[in-house]
Structure 1
Amino acid sequence: MIDLDIDMRQYDCPFIDTTDDVDIAFSAVQWQLDTSAEKLETRLIAEGESTGALEDGLRTLRSHPNMAECYILSKRENVAQIGTTIEQTNAMRTIQQNDGYITGPFRIEDGRERWHVGFDDDDAEDRTLAELERHNDYNVEDRDQFDPATLFDLLENSESATTLLEGCRSLTETERETFETAAQRGYYETPRDTTLAELADHFDVSKTAVSMNLRRSERKILQGALSALDQLAGNDEL
């Protein structure tokens, strides 16, 4: 299996056009392509820069000529879960007609869309990319190729990967930024390339505050990693 991570700009996509005009982003939760009707049904999370941006974005989305249906499932402040039906775009049709398939959720913001697309062989990949170039703007950001054994291992251990990801997502914005900066500046190298005092100066906080943020980050990530390891061990025993 060939898996592509594609940064895409479609010129006939309601979601992309909406994020061009309004500070709103969309993340897919569920999708279903009806090839006979040439329509795509989706459940998405819409997040506006503000409550007003969310309202403006949903109004803009509903008025798009390629939008067949758009309704709110739930809403809280600047975030909403929505259901939509849109006309099949050129990119969707191209991927489907060349035996490609969607392998993961997509996210749309700032007039661009992140797609995860799979192919069974190089010929299907080459045909699709050549045709996509005629009516869309895209960049292949990453390409992976998996043999059956590797793919089976990924699928078998997807729960462990999700657990680790949840541990990372549990970090607050401050914890994540502190942890990333410390790692990038060599705090975890031996010998260390930066100190708590230097990190404190960078964030304009006390050394105690930096230390606490790092400890919270490390604890959350470690707990996620340990849970994932337990699940991996359980899978191995099975």
Structure 2
Amino acid sequence: MAEIEESNLTDVVKRINDYFNPNVPAHSAGNATEELLVEYAPRNSIHDAFVSRGFVPEEEIRIKNGYEYWAVIISKSRTMIQRRLEEIRQEMDAKITIEGMKSPNTESAKYNTTDYLSERQREVFELAQQSGYYTWPREISASELADKLNLSKTTILEHLRKAEAKLLGPKV
């Protein structure tokens, strides 16, 4: 929290418990994480540039290590999408990377999204995917993933099992 408060991009940082329910102790038994409400000037976000050009967020915008991660819906040609993204890059001096695009006939991302994973489960699962943990043969071991994240192999495997269970759904 101190690092966020010290950033010259941050206006205000509040603990969610303090903000929404000041009568509940911030460190109640069983709380493994703490949610924060971070307020910052709109000029420090790319949000308005996206929305004003017809991009509609499909899921919650994630912010990590100073980057915003968006899943958006827009009903335009690829050429028009590229043109609008280039406008945003120029206007906001932004680096924008497209990780994938789907046509309107493709099932919506919200049906196979990792939204319901904890932030740590998502981080571990996405790193595992990007690093080739799920390829055959594996390009990275659980121990190597653990080293990358400075976690134990047991913790990595626990996060992956929980993420996989959530993504695969209940037994039928």
Q: What corresponds to 1:114 in structure 2?
A: 68
Q: Counterparts in 2 of 1:151-166, with a 5 A limit?
A: 151-152=107-108, 154-158=109-113, 161-162=114-115, 165-166=117-118
Structure 1, unaligned runs of 5 or more: 1-46, 63-69, 204-209
- Partners of 2:10 and 2:119 lie apart in 1 by 34
Which residue identity lines up with residue 167 of structure 2 in the other structure? A
CA RMSD of aligned residues (A): 4.9
Q: What corresponds to 2:103 in structure 1?
A: 147
Q: What corresponds to 1:82 in structure 2?
A: 37
Is the Cα contact below 8 Å between 1:101 and 1:118 reproduced in 2? yes
Matched, 1:127 2:66: no
Amino-acid identity (%): 8
Matched, 1:217 2:156: yes
Q: What corresponds to 1:169 in structure 2?
A: 121
Is the Cα contact below 8 Å between 2:56 and 2:74 reproduced in 1? yes
The Cα shift of 1:216 comes to 4.9
The structure, 1 or 2, with the larger RCO (C-alpha pairs under 8 Å, 6+ apart) is 1
The Cα shift of 1:221 comes to 2.2
Going from structure 1 to structure 2, the CA distance change for 1:96 and 1:223 (only over 3 Å counts) comes to closer
Is the Cα contact below 8 Å between 1:100 and 1:125 reproduced in 2? no
Going from structure 1 to structure 2, the CA distance change for 1:108 and 1:155 (only over 3 Å counts) comes to closer
- Partners of 2:68 and 2:2 lie apart in 1 by 18
Which residue identity lines up with residue 145 of structure 1 in the other structure? M
Higher helix share: 1
Pick aligned residue for 2:10 from 53, 58, 61? 61
User: Which of the pair has more CA radius of gyration?
Assistant: 1
Pick aligned residue for 2:55 from 88, 93, 100? 100
Structure 2, unaligned runs of 5 or more: 19-25, 28-33
